[in-house]
Amino acid sequence: MTLKRKSAAIITLELATCVMMLTALYAIFIYAPIEKTMGLVQKIFYIHVPSAFLAFFAFFITFVASILYLYKRENKWDIMAFCSAEIGVIFCSIVLITGPIWAKPIWNAWWTWDPRLTTTLILWFIYAAYLILRGSAEENRRSNFSAVFGIIGFVNVPITFLAVRLWRTIHPVVITPQGINISYPMKLTLILTLMAFCLLFFTLLVTRIRLERMRLDVEKIRALSQDKKIYRKE
Amino acid sequence: MTEFPEHEYIIQTEGLTKKYGFKTVLRNIDLSLKRGDFLSLFGPNGAGKTTLIQTLCSLTTPTSGKVFIAGFHVRHDRESLRKVIGVISHNTFLYNNLSAFENLKFYGRMYDVPRLHQKIQEITELVGLREYINDHVCTYSRGMQQRLSVARAMIHDPLILFLDEPFTGLDQHGAEDFKKILMGCHNEGKTIIMTSHDLILGLELCSQAAILRSGTLVYREEMSKRVQKDFRRTYFQLTGEKGLS
Amino acid sequence: MSFLQKLWAIVWKDLTFELRTKETILSMCLFSFLVLIIFHFTFDIGFENLNTTAPGILWVAFLFSGLMGLNRSFGSERDGGTLPGLLLCPISPWVIYLAKMIGTFTFMVIMETITLSIFTILYNINLLPVLLPLGLIIFLGTLGFSSIGTIFSAMSVTTRARDVILSILVFPISVPVILASVKSTGLILGGRSITEAYSWLKLLAAFDLIFLLLAYITFGFIVEE
């Protein structure tokens, strides 16, 4: 049962996340210089890149947890896979929203079909499908199906990336994302933001898992009490 | 492999529990049957009869507890287990657009039945469907389909037959024919577990009777005249169903 | 040998069953024919733009009709209540998977052959000189699609919104197959030699192998409860 108060570790994690996020925000808006060619909008890069990294990381966790679930049949891996996928979809959405916002003023195009952005879009679809599958499947098959799909989806990502890249090298896009001139303060800001987002990810994951465990506990209690009503002899 | 020692239990469960999510459907079932027994399992709707049959025939894995069928573990020795059991339910598992012959040929091949064509002739003779062997199953009446289902389940000479409410939808003639076939199977020495809603029919055929209520086995007796006489009263008492009487 | 015998038994059963009613194969062919016609209206296809649009049209027709075939593979078993009967047979889940995949593949190939013939008539193209390389691409692409689709068909039949769930699951995962098939078809129809499409074909073959392997490992978890 997880109906107990938050442990000290979790509270520390949450505090650390707050501190780091505030530091990162400061770094983004005050510390980091404004980029020469792109201007103020370039600062979205500090949100875009860490989100992308964490989306992939979240789906990697789903992949590993899915394998562990099928191998060990312990419920905790299924919970971890699911919660990580949910958070991954959130970060993935952030990538897909910040991308166009950044692209439009710079290259005058909302969307570029470059390999990375396109693969991220497909990745988003795959894990959105994961969540829908989980919602539609029967209760006793849900975990198995999600685990299998979690594995298949993740294995598919590098293949999709290769395919899109091959497509793009044969028909190169007119607009290609140029590298940005990165100075030291920008590097530092990026690292700070990355660390802040990592902490944010773990806080969200831990909280979501706790929430899911609590939900399952409520269901268990409900089922047990119904049991007692039917099975009067106990 | 149709040999199985007489003295050992051909069906044995210990603490069999099945949960769907947090809902417990089968609770600590201890069941043992010797070779040649015919167990009729009764119980109200939702008691878990179908789940028990499904678990015993390896369609579902138990949440906890041990289940051994003909010495095979229900989870680890699935393939071997499936070779020696036959399952008949109210669903016939027959392909409607195929003829009886084609259906039996298919299942015969899946079970590696030797001398298949001869076996098909024999088994359709046994269930009285020899003349209709080339007709499509969709043209059969419910009674005929159920008899063909028995042929399908027996084509590989299983040691054990599981029947899940097989009399559903059968008219008087159909039920009578089916009953005769079952008695024939029992006389041949097959072990049979059957769930049924029909108290009279079930008791007529069985050598042991059991009652399942809310996932627990609340009654288990060898069949005798006395048991048969009192059974109806016992059943209603134990399952707590208040009728109009 | 028993493995092959049982595999063939299931495939034969599915083929016989389908050929009795011809329900699925007819709707698949009719649907792909319809797609070809609708695309003509939407794109106003003439000789100029044919080479660029043709591969896309073909594969959209193939894949969307292919979905029907996929639905049938486990759908008919589920609807007829015969799925438990099949699962109770003493065979490994891998045999069931392979048999269903081969069944779907066969129906798709039949549909694709008919669609190609209609295509040549509707758009006045001569496909004979490129038939062999085109055949190879279609083989690899259809194999990839049916290998992935069979896994998801087994999953989606247990849900209520069966067709929708199947589409949602299959298409994101099939993106590499779609890209590779369309692009290599485009190269072939555009008169290029097959060696130029080599990297796409490698990708297709790798995809097919990887996902067949994944199916082997994971299919048991899908059908067994």
* Record: contact A162-C160, CB cut-off 8 A: no
Which chain C residues are Cβ-neighbours of B92 within 8 angstroms? 81
Q: Are A79 and A207 in contact (CB under 8 A)?
A: no
**Residue A220 to residue B214, Cβ atoms within 8 A:** no
Signed CA dihedral, C22, C4, C78, B190: sign only: positive
Taking domain B8-84+160-166+190-245, whether its CATH number is 3.40.50.300 is answered by yes
Note the pTM of the prediction, 2 decimals: 0.90
How many structural domains does chain A have?
Answer: 1
Q: What is the mean pLDDT of each run of 10 residues along chain B (245 residues)?
A: 63 91 89 92 90 93 91 88 92 92 95 94 92 93 92 94 91 89 91 90 89 89 84 83 51
In chain A, which among 35-94 make CB contacts under 8 A with chain C?
Answer: 70
Domain, as residue range, for A71? 9-32+40-173+183-230
Which residues is B73 bridged to in the sheet?
B68
CA distances from A121 to A55, A94, A179, C113 (A): 11, 11, 21, 33
CA angle B83, B89, B93 (to 5 degrees): 70
Handedness of CA A11, A16, A22, A24 (dihedral sign): negative
Give B19-25 contacts, CB < 8 A, sequence gap 24+.
B19/B63, B20/A139, B20/A140, B21/A139, B21/A140, B21/A219, B21/A223, B22/A216, B22/A219, B22/A220, B22/A222, B22/A223, B22/A224, B23/A223, B23/A226, B23/A227, B24/A223, B24/A227, B24/B215, B25/B51, B25/B215
Judge whether A2 lies within some domain: no
Please tell me which of the candidates C159, C183, C222 has its beta carbon nearest to residue A144: C222
Number of residues that make up chain A:
234
Domain count, chain C: 1
More confident residue, C111 or A117: C111
Residue C7 maps to a domain: no
Residues of chain A in contact with residue B24, where contact means CB-CB under 8 angstroms, are 223, 227
How many other C-beta atoms can be found within 10 angstroms of the C-beta atom of residue B94? Answer: 24
Instruction: Count the neighbouring beta carbons within 10 Å of the beta carbon of residue B168.
Output: 14
* A231–B214 CB contact, under 8 Å: yes
Chain segment C65-88, per-residue pLDDT in tens: 999 999 989 999 988 889 999 999
Which residue in C173, C207, C209 has the most chain A C-beta atoms within 10 A of its own C-beta, making it the best mutation to test that interface?
A: C173
B102·C13 Cβ contact <8 A? yes
pLDDT band at residue C43 using 50, 70 and 90 as cut-offs: confident
Distance (Å, rounded) from C-alpha A38 to C-alpha A10? 39
Chain B residues near residue C91 by CB distance under 8 angstroms: 79, 110
Rounded alpha-carbon distances, angstroms, from residue C57 to C36, C67, C116, C178, C185: 7, 16, 11, 12, 11
Q: How far is A18 from chain B (nearest CA, A)?
A: 37
Span C156-161, average pLDDT:
91
pLDDT of amino acid C145: 97
What is the residue extent of each domain of chain B? Answer: 8-84+160-166+190-245
pLDDT digits (tens, 9 = 90+) for A19-58: 999 988 888 888 887 777 777 888 888 899 999 999 999 9
E strand or H helix that includes residue A198? helix A184-230
Instruction: Return d(Cα A89, Cα A111) in angstroms, integer.
Output: 19
Contacts of C103 in chain B (CB under 8 A): none
- How far is residue A65's CA from residue B188's CA, in Å, rounded to a whole number? 51
Q: Give me the count of residues in chain B.
A: 245
CA–CA distance from B237 to each of B69, B213, B228, B242 (Å)? 32, 11, 15, 9
Per the structure, the complete domain to which residue C151 belongs is given by: 19-223
Return d(Cα B173, Cα B151) in angstroms, integer.
Answer: 18
CB B35 within 8 Å of CB B10: yes
Q: Which one has a higher pLDDT value, B217 or C124?
A: B217
Determine the average pLDDT of the residues in C116-143. Answer: 90
Query: Residues of C with CB below 8 A from B96's CB?
Result: 80
Burial B13-39 (b: 16+ CB within 10 A, else e): beebbbbbebbbbbbebebebebbbbb
Q: B216–A231: do the CB atoms touch at under 8 Å?
A: yes
Q: For residue A224, how many C-alpha atoms fall within 13 Å in the half-sphere facing its CB?
A: 6
* A234 contacts chain B (CB < 8 A): no
B93 interaction partners in chain C (CB closer than 8 Å): 81-82, 84-85, 88
Written as tens digits, the pLDDT of chain A (234 aa) is 555 677 888 899 999 999 999 988 888 888 887 777 777 888 888 899 999 999 999 999 999 999 999 999 999 999 999 999 999 999 999 999 998 888 888 878 888 888 888 899 999 999 999 999 999 998 889 999 999 999 999 999 999 999 998 888 766 554 455 555 677 888 888 899 999 999 999 999 999 999 999 999 999 998 888 877 766 554
Indicate the residue of C82, C90, C91 with minimum beta-carbon distance to B95.
C82
* Residues C225 and A141 sit within 8 Å (Cβ to Cβ): yes
Task: Please calculate the CA angle C97-C99-C104 and round it to the nearest 5 degrees.
Answer: 95
> For testing the chain B interface, which of C3, C6, C15, C89 should be mutated: the one with the most B CBs within 10 Å?
C89
C194-212: average pLDDT: 92
Q: How far is CA A61 from CA A79, A82, B65, in A?
A: 11, 10, 32
Residue-level pLDDT at A3: 57
Query: How high is the pLDDT of residue B1?
Result: 43
Question: Residue A186 is encoded by which pair of tokens?
Answer: 């920008």
Judge: B21–A224 Cβ closer than 8 Å, yes or no: no
- What is the C-alpha separation between B31 and B49, in angstroms, rounded? 13
Chain B residues with CB-CB distance to C90 below 8 A: 78-80, 82-83, 110-112
Query: Are the CB atoms for B110 and B75 separated by under 8 Å?
Result: no
Give me C25's structure tokens: 């194969």
CB contact at 8 A, A192 and A49? no
Joined tokens for residue C32: 């792909």
Q: Is there a contact between B213 and B182 (Cβ–Cβ < 8 Å)?
A: no
Kindly list the residues from chain B whose CB atom is less than 8 angstroms away from the CB atom of residue A222: 22
Structural domain contains residue A188: yes
| Cα C195 → chain centroid | 24
Which residues of C lie closer than 8 Å to A, measured between beta carbons? 148, 151, 155, 158-161, 165, 168-169, 171-173, 175-176, 179-180, 183, 199-200, 203, 206-207, 210-211, 214, 218, 221-222, 225
Using the Cβ of B109 and the Cβ atoms of chain C, whether some distance falls under 8 Å is answered with: yes
Inside any domain, residue A178: no
Residues pairing with A39 in the sheet: A35
A37-42, long-range: CB < 8 A, 24+ apart: A37/A181, A38/A105, A38/A106, A38/A180, A39/A105, A41/A101, A41/A102, A41/A105, A41/A106, A42/A102, A42/A180
| Å between B237 CA and nearest CA of chain C | 35
Q: Are B49 and B43 in contact (CB under 8 A)?
A: yes
Chain C residues within an 8 Å CB radius of A138: 158-159
Tokens of C70: 């996929």
Mean pLDDT (whole number) for C142-157: 96
CB contact under 8 A, B95 and C5: no
Pick the more confident residue, C196 or A202.
Answer: A202
Residue C81 lies in a domain: yes
User: Which strands sit side by side in the sheet containing B23-34, from one edge to the other?
Assistant: B23-34, B9-20, B64-69, B72-73
Q: Which residues are within 8 A (CB) of B45 and not within 5 positions of it... i.e. 6 or more apart?
A: none
Interface touch B22/A219, C-beta < 8 Å: yes
d(CA A144, CA A77): 11
Judge contact between A212 and A86, C-beta under 8 A: no
Annotate chain B with three-state secondary structure.
CCCCCCCCEEEEEEEEEEEECCEEEEEEEEEEEECCCEEEEECCCCCCHHHHHHHHCCCCCCCEEEEEECCEECCCCHHHHHHCEEEEECCCCCCCCCEHHHHHHHHHHHCCCCCHHHHHHHHHHHCCCHHHCCCEHHHCCHHHHHHHHHHHHHCCCCCEEEEECCCCCCCHHHHHHHHHHHHHHHHCCCEEEEECCCHHHHHHHCCEEEEEECCEEEEEEECCHHHHHHHHHHHHHHHCCCCCC
Asked if C173 and A153 come within 8 Å (Cβ–Cβ), the reply is yes
The closest of A194, A44, A49, A195 to A116, measured between CA atoms, is: A49
| Euclidean distance between CA atoms C115 and B234, whole angstroms | 67
Structure confidence at residue C109 (pLDDT): 96
